[in-house]
Amino acid sequence: PKTKYDRQLRIWGDQGQAALEKASICLLNCGPTGTEALKNLVLGGIGSVTVVDDSKVEPSDLGNNFLLDEGCLGHSRAKSICSFLQELNDAVKAKYVEESVATMIDTNPSFFSEFTVVIATQLPESSLLKLDGICGSANIVLVAARSYGLTGLVRVSIK
């Protein structure tokens, strides 16, 4: 690990790297915005990631999500993304859940209790507000991101 993460250890030291390696991230919807965020965390040595997305890979995904290729067409987007993330850093535990994000927020709020950070992308406001309440009550950091072409917004919600 000292050699693998040498550059970042110079920035945040052993303590920062240890915190990163203990973190558990949940990504809701694995479009290009969320995938880019996860790629950077996985390359940095995050402890574990869980991707929640019930979509299948479509041709439009190939043009804007760099972790997907033609071999992924018709397959689970979450599973395909996790497979590529594992290739980037096999020390990171990556798993996926093929379920609707909105349904999970409504019916299984305890699912989120195992994470230190939840990254929610492209969620409708009603789902985002429910998720903010769930994360706030469990003291989980929520990062909400939405992109609109070349612009976007990010909001971090911490209790």
Domain definitions of the chain by residue range: 5-157
Instruction: Give tens-digit pLDDT for 123-147.
Output: 999 999 999 999 999 999 999 999 8
What pLDDT is stored for residue 148 in this prediction? 85
Binned at pLDDT 50, 70 and 90, residue 63 comes out as confident
Q: Domain 5-157: give its CATH architecture.
A: 3-Layer(aba) Sandwich (3.40)
Which tokens in the block code for residue 39? 């790629």
Which tokens in the block code for residue 131? 């998720």
pLDDT at residue 7 is higher than 70 = no
Q: How far is CA 62 from CA 36, 66, 106, 147, in A?
A: 14, 7, 30, 17
Q: How many Cβ atoms sit within 10 Å of the Cβ of residue 47? A: 17
